[in-house]
């Protein structure tokens, strides 16, 4: 990332600013907040604007897309949340068994409140739940799986859900779906890179070659065999730009002046990761007290 943009990525679509205000207003209507995080980068995919808003709410954290993440790292992240008194599960949002699992966890989290309600003579009612997360984290996919039919739009690019809506899952659970929301400024460039890599922000926000360079450096450090196994290139002693150049040459990506098209090769590499062709890899290594 160039110095002008470093640690100062500043963009904020209007509907996201509106969504944050609506989330704050609707919080008083819900019993529980389900926070969706991408298992490949749980820290980067947590909206810091939610931290203060959710302080007084019971929360269930769901690490989505566990099938695309490094399982050993996911186990560590779940342990990290447990150590910090946060109830968290790892899920594949497409699986129908999530309904029973989420209802069970929601019931556990709401047990104390329901006990107090019964003592006051109040009958049990569906748990009103708000579901929040960054764009493209799998909210619509999860809700459709919970309901058992398509009730919200699903897409492979951010910004599908634009409005909030109540959705009845069953007699135990009602969900308030909300648009995926980001925040006005990414203070750490690594957050912007990771959100770009997983497709949470549009591909034209950051220079694709910068994203790919960061990604290749990360792979070389934590998953050194991923590129070799996928592309059959011995790249262990190459720099990131040399690796991207080799990939451009292998794919036949050239500009009109016969120079290698590094931007196209960079986008190709990132898309390969998003589709799982590089394996199940996590972008944030969890450091916990064992």
Domains of the chain and any CATH numbers: 9-177 (3.40.50.300), 207-274 (1.10.1580.10)
> What are 250-286's pLDDT values in tens digits?
999 999 999 999 999 999 999 999 999 999 999 999 9
Of residues 278 and 144, more confidence is placed in 278
Residue with tokens 């989290």: 109
Inter-residue contact 144 to 153 (CB < 8 Å): no
| pTM score, whole prediction | 0.85
Write down the pLDDT at residue 35. Answer: 94
Write down the pLDDT at residue 9. Answer: 54
Inter-residue contact 248 to 265 (CB < 8 Å): yes
Contacts of 249-254 with C-beta under 8 Å, sequence gap 24+, read: none
3-state secondary structure of 263: helix
């Amino acid at each position: 990332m160039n110095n002008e943009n470093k640690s100062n990525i500043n963009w904020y679509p209007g509907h996201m600013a509106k969504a944050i205000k609506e989330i704050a207003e609707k919080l008083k209507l819900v019993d529980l907040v389900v926070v969706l995080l991408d298992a490949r980068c749980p820290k980067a995919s947590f909206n810091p604007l939610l931290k203060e808003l959710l302080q007084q709410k019971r929360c269930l954290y769901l690490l989505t897309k566990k099938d695309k993440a490094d399982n050993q790292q996911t186990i560590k992240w779940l342990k990290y949340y447990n150590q910090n008194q946060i109830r968290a599960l790892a899920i594949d949002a497409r699986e129908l068994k999530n309904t029973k699992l989420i209802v069970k966890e929601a019931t556990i989290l709401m047990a104390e409140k329901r006990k107090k309600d019964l003592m006051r003579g109040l009958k049990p009612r569906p748990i009103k739940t708000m579901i929040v997360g960054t764009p493209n984290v799998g909210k619509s996919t999860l809700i459709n799986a919970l309901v058992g039919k398509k009730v919200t739009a699903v897409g492979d690019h951010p910004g599908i859900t634009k409005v909030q809506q109540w959705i009845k899952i069953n007699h135990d659970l009602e969900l308030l779906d909300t648009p995926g929301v980001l925040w006005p400024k990414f203070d750490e460039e690594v957050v912007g890179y990771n959100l770009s890599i997983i497709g949470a922000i549009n591909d034209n926000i950051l220079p694709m070659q910068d994203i790919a360079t960061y990604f290749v450096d990360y792979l070389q450090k934590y998953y050194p065999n991923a590129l070799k196994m996928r592309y059959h290139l011995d790249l262990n002693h190459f720099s990131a730009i040399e690796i991207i150049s080799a990939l451009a040459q292998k794919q036949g990506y050239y500009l009109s002046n016969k120079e290698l098209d590094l931007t196209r090769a960079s986008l190709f590499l990132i898309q390969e990761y998003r589709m799982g062709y590089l394996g199940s890899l996590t972008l944030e290594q969890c450091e916990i007290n064992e």
